[in-house]
Chains A and B, each alone.
Chain A
Amino acid sequence: MNEFEWLRQMRDLNQPAAPRNDLWARIEAELDAADPAQPAAVTPIRPARRHQAWAVAASLAAMFVLACGIVWHAQPIQSNVTPALAAMPSSHALPWKPSDPRLAGAAVELDAARMELQQAIQQAPDSPALQRLLQRTDAQQAMLRELEKHAG
């Protein structure tokens, strides 16, 4: 079979074909014969879907309650552990990135020191030495921020 014959046969296939056994007539007859009092074969599915929706809603509500509980517990712990940090201006919590490259190294150093001190304070919240060190580190950072204002 050459290519032309093969193409012709393919084109011939593109014709409407009647099924050998037409099942539709039988299906239609059975549908008509069914009892109209029991109309839906899909009704058993509905209660399952309703249960599923309730389960999703309950899960969401449980997650919300859990999240509220975590936040409620976490807040007093933070304020007890780091009273000095809580009183700190919010600008201090952000990493300081001076525009003057001569101060950039010191900024990284001071930010790292603050982070380490905060972690240490979480472990030893009653240490006055750590609180003093944090205050001094903040004072040094404040001094450099002041210096940066003179930078062009």
Chain B
Amino acid sequence: MKNIRYLPLLCCLCWGGQALAETQLDLSHPAAPTVHVEITNVKGEVTVTAWDRNEVHVGGELGSGAQPLTIEGSENNLSIKVQAQGHGGWLNWRGDNAMSDSTLDVNVPRGASVKVNVVSAPLSIDGIDGGDIAVNSVSGRVRIHAQTPALDVVTISGNVAFSGHAQRAKLQTVSGDILAPSLGQSADLQTVSGRIQANGGPWQQLSLSTVSGDVQLTGGLADGGSMRVDSMSGDVQLQFPSSLSSSIHASTFSGDLRSDFGTPEQPEHGPGSHLDTVAGSGNGKISIETFSGDLRIRKAGSDD
């Protein structure tokens, strides 16, 4: 029992040792305005911020147990990878466990393209304008504010929030939610059980699929555009502008279907209903199908 008096001291020493083991980062590398930067960090945090310099800078802290960090590559193609000592690979359970969190604050040129691989590290990308963005994440949440021609995000359980504008967007999760209020011409949204809330358009092509997650989608269809929504048990709520010009085919096997465009038909016996109608001059094509999820198609500005 006498030794217990040394416990606070031991805790302080452990904490202090850990703090000392983390390395402050201050690395720079010249870069082209449209440089491609690949960043890998397993745990901790990654923040990518665009700036008006032709330079890549890495600040933050490198966790203990990580290999010394360097910015590798040429002005057009740079790589920043946090790796555990003695263990290779991006997703390495034993190696990752032996390493403490690393925090990376990365500055890149505004027109840079970035590819980020994280496992359980939250990721923020802010200010990219013109470059492509690709993200692979396992459980960390992903927040992106950017103007990009191509956005490709794959997460497992992390939520995805995107603002800004993406001409082409592919967002995919297993259980993470997708929040994307400003999707551009083309979008492909997939989830198993996450919730999807997306706005934007007018879409030339939109594909959305969910197994059990609910969907809320607001936007218009471009002239001749097409949209397809598949859901098993997730409820789907779509809102189109009153100027919509498209054929609409919607059906549900056992859910409830209500629409401000056309009148759904129900079979004489049994559940389910379907809708085949044309809005405006019918230039586009909308196809929506649910198995047991409820389906609501609304016209913007209509009550209820």
Q: Which residues of A contact B (CB under 8 A)?
A: 99-103, 105-106, 109-110, 113, 116-117, 120, 123-124, 127-130, 132-133, 136-137, 140, 143-144, 147-148, 150-152
A123–B232 Cα distance when bound, in Å, is 12
Is the beta-carbon distance between A113 and B291 smaller than 8 angstroms? no
Is the beta-carbon distance between B93 and A102 smaller than 8 angstroms? yes
Q: Mark B65-95, 1 if CB is under 8 A from A, else 0.
A: 0000000000000000000000101111111
Contact A102/B139 with A113-B193, A124-B253 known, Cβ cut-off 8 Å:
yes
For residue B106, CB closer than 8 A to chain A, the reply is no
User: Would you list 6 pairs from A and B whose C-beta atoms are within 8 A, ordered by A residue?
Assistant: A105-B157, A109-B174, A116-B233, A129-B289, A137-B192, A152-B91
Contact A110/B192 with A105-B157, A132-B230, A152-B95 known, Cβ cut-off 8 Å:
yes
Is the beta-carbon distance between B95 and A129 smaller than 8 angstroms? no
| CB neighbours of B171 from chain A (8 A) | none
Contact A140/B192 with A116-B211, A116-B212, A129-B291 known, Cβ cut-off 8 Å:
yes
**Contact partner, A100, options B91, B175, B192, B289, Cβ 8 Å:** B91
Is the beta-carbon distance between A117 and B232 smaller than 8 angstroms? yes
Is the beta-carbon distance between A102 and B120 smaller than 8 angstroms? yes
**Contact partner, A103, options B92, B156, B232, Cβ 8 Å:** B156
**Contact partner, B209, options A106, A133, A152, Cβ 8 Å:** A133
Write the nearest CB–CB distance from B194 to chain A, whole angstroms: 10
Q: Mark B16-46, 1 if CB is under 8 A from A, else 0.
A: 0000000000000000000000000000000
Is the beta-carbon distance between B92 and A150 smaller than 8 angstroms? yes
Is the beta-carbon distance between A110 and B232 smaller than 8 angstroms? no
Which chain B residues (81-129) contact chain A, with CB distance < 8 Å? Answer: 87, 89-96, 119-120
A116–B119 Cα distance when bound, in Å, is 28
**Contact partner, A136, options B92, B93, B119, B209, Cβ 8 Å:** B209
For residue B172, CB closer than 8 A to chain A, the reply is yes
For residue B167, CB closer than 8 A to chain A, the reply is no
Contact A127/B291 with A106-B175, A140-B192, A151-B93 known, Cβ cut-off 8 Å:
yes
Grouping DSSP codes into helix (H, G, I), strand (E, B) and loop, the B interface class, with mixed when no group exceeds half, is loop
Contact A123/B175 with A102-B119, A132-B230, A151-B92 known, Cβ cut-off 8 Å:
no
Is the beta-carbon distance between B212 and A113 smaller than 8 angstroms? yes
A136–B89 Cα distance when bound, in Å, is 26
For residue B185, CB closer than 8 A to chain A, the reply is no
| CB neighbours of B192 from chain A (8 A) | 109-110, 113, 137, 140
Contact A147/B190 with A106-B156, A127-B289, A130-B291 known, Cβ cut-off 8 Å:
no
For residue B292, CB closer than 8 A to chain A, the reply is yes
Write the nearest CB–CB distance from A141 to chain B, whole angstroms: 9
Is the beta-carbon distance between A152 and B174 smaller than 8 angstroms? no
For residue B215, CB closer than 8 A to chain A, the reply is no
A128–B231 Cα distance when bound, in Å, is 11
Q: Which 6 A-B pairs have the closest CB atoms?
A: A129-B289, A129-B230, A152-B92, A152-B94, A113-B211, A106-B156
Write the nearest CB–CB distance from B172 to chain A, whole angstroms: 7
Write the nearest CB–CB distance from A119 to chain B, whole angstroms: 10
A132–B289 Cα distance when bound, in Å, is 11
| CB neighbours of B89 from chain A (8 A) | 150-152
Contact A117/B138 with A137-B192, A144-B156, A152-B92 known, Cβ cut-off 8 Å:
no
A109–B194 Cα distance when bound, in Å, is 11
Write the nearest CB–CB distance from A136 to chain B, whole angstroms: 6
Which chain B residues (214-272) contact chain A, with CB distance < 8 Å? Answer: 230-233, 253
Write the nearest CB–CB distance from B230 to chain A, whole angstroms: 4
B272, closest chain A residue (CB): A124
| CB neighbours of B92 from chain A (8 A) | 150-152
Write the nearest CB–CB distance from B273 to chain A, whole angstroms: 14
Is the beta-carbon distance between B91 and A109 smaller than 8 angstroms? no
Write the nearest CB–CB distance from A96 to chain B, whole angstroms: 12
Write the nearest CB–CB distance from B234 to chain A, whole angstroms: 10
A135, closest chain B residue (CB): B209
